Amino acid sequence: MKTVALIAGVILLAFGLLFAGQGSGIIMWPASSFMLAARIWIVYGLGIAALGAALLWWSRRR
């Protein structure tokens, strides 16, 4: 179970940071994305990244 949480945590953290980067306009890829420079995606992305970080923390506990 903890291995699944670790993998899901890494994926959620990566996607959350990507979404926040696209929402802030730092990452302008792909050019056809509707998330580019849309500020609400910063909030969504950071929330997703926080969930991923929490899963990582939980999966690494002894």
In the prediction, which pLDDT does 21 show?
A: 97
Instruction: State how far the Cα of 19 lies from the Cα of 36, in Å rounded to an integer.
Output: 9
The reported pTM is 0.92
Ranges of each domain in the chain: 2-60
For CA atoms 5, 19, 50, 62, give the dihedral sign.
positive
pLDDT band of 62, cuts 50, 70, 90: confident
For CA atoms 50, 54, 57, 59, give the dihedral sign.
negative
pLDDT tens column, 8-17: 999 999 999 9
Instruction: State how far the Cα of 60 lies from the Cα of 24, in Å rounded to an integer.
Output: 30
